[in-house]
Amino acid sequence: MSQQAKSERLMNLVICLLVARGYVPKSRIRSVVGGYGDQTDEAFDRMFERDKDELRDVGIPIEIGSNDPFGEDEPGYRISRHEFELPEIRLEPDEAAVVGLAARAWQHSGLAAAASTAVVKLQAAGVEADTRALGAVEPRVGGEEPAFWPLWEAVRDRRPVRFWHRKVSSATGMQRHLRPWSVLSWHGRWYVLGFDTDREDARMFRLSRIVGDVEPDGEPGSYEVPPPDDVRSAASSLAPSPEHRDLSVATLKVREGSGHTLRRRATDVRPADVPGWDVVTVSYSSQTRLVEEIATHGADVVALEPDELRKRVVEWLTDIVEETP
């Protein structure tokens, strides 16, 4: 069967169900929509089922029901105009301009294609494209991680998923079972937030640490997503945040013009006895993190106190010198 004949059949099926006053029985559809009439019963059934699925896939709402409140009639099909048609929308030129800008924001995921078909629909509805150069702000949304699209689909369809998620220090990781609530970007990195059914609690997972495929682990629509405000507060309580528990205090000798990250969080900076150097006081909670940070600056930062910190920095640097063959 030719491509054109199939498109004609689908088009005529849409029109038939859209203009009908009530539900159209299958037998009537078969007799009025070209392409069905000359099929055997079995071939027609198969064809009709597939056509309906394909139309629903592109967003055409085909309902099943009966005109007879007692349901004794043959069930029929219809497309409700209210569900089918985009309601009236008029955008002022400045509104159309920001919508145009927003539509260009998506980069990699399937949402880039969705944004452009949305704009086409708006233009078809009479919204004039505003090509005025806004120029001054250019938004970009990535989401190029392979897990982005399947997780977005899962959130959209409220479908549980399972995936392997590795810890920062390992290659393989653990299998997780999640009812995803939201896909979110936090400080430029993408996460999925949801209810972890193994932990029985909300959890957040970094997308770039998902290994392999995201697979369905239940039926669509099988859970409810909490209200947006609850999702947002779960996100902010789970999001990685800078350490606030500052337990110890260290003093460091920092060369002038260096050690900006240390200076930025210093509680005190004063000139050292040696010209060209400052003594910088910082508080910290993880000694290892501070050792790493001091080592990063090489000869520009020297740990003074406490002694334990000084010793650890020396060990850290000695490892580098000695490990090299």
Partner 1 sequence: MTTGQPRQRRADSAPAQVSRLLSMLPYLRSHPYARVADVAALFNVSERQVIRDLRVLWFSGLPGLAMGDYIEVDMESVEGEGIISVSNADYLARPLRLRTDEAVALLVALRTLADVPGSFDREAIDRAITKLEQAAGEVAERAAAVQIQVDGEAVADVAATVRTALDERRRLHLSYWVPARDETTERDVDPMRLVVVDGRLYLEGWCRRAEQVRLFRLDRVAAVSILDAPADLPDQARPRDLSDGLFQPSPDDELVTLELTRGGRWVTDYYPFESAEELPNGGIRLRLWVRDRRWLRRLMLRLGSTGRVVDPADLATEVVDDARAALAAYEVG
Residues 83-102 that bind partner 1 (CB under 8 A): 83-92, 94-99, 101-102
| Cα–Cα distances in angstroms (integers) from residue 195 to residues 29, 158, 205, 214, 252, in the given order | 45, 12, 11, 16, 44
Distance of alpha carbon 206 from alpha carbon 204, whole angstroms = 7
**CA angle 94–95–96, rounded 5-degree value:** 90
Min dist. Cβ of residue 190 to partner 1 (A): 7
Distance of alpha carbon 90 from alpha carbon 126, whole angstroms = 8
Span 191-230, contacts to partner 1 by CB under 8 A? 206, 208-209, 213-216, 225, 228
| Residues whose CB is less than 8 angstroms from the CB of residue 157 and which lie 6 or more positions away in sequence, other chains included | 220, 221
Q: Which stretch binds partner 1 (CB under 8 A): 38-46, 62-70, 137-145, 278-286?
A: 137-145
Span 248-267, contacts to partner 1 by CB under 8 A? 253, 257-261
**Contact letters for partner 1, residues 279-318 (x by CB under 8 A):** ------------xxx-xxxxxx-x-------x--xx-xxx
Contact 103, 116 (CB under 8 A): yes
Instruction: Work out which of 39, 52, 153, 177 binds partner 1, going by CB under 8 A.
Output: 153
Based on the shown chain and the rule CB under 8 A, indicate whether residue 76 belongs to the binding site for partner 1: no
Span 7-66, contacts to partner 1 by CB under 8 A? 7-8, 10-12, 14-16, 18-20, 32-34, 54-55, 57-60
Residue 142, Cβ density class (10 Å: 0-12 exposed, 13-18 middle, ≥19 buried): middle
Based on the shown chain and the rule CB under 8 A, indicate whether residue 269 belongs to the binding site for partner 1: no
Min dist. Cβ of residue 197 to partner 1 (A): 18
Distance of alpha carbon 85 from alpha carbon 262, whole angstroms = 59
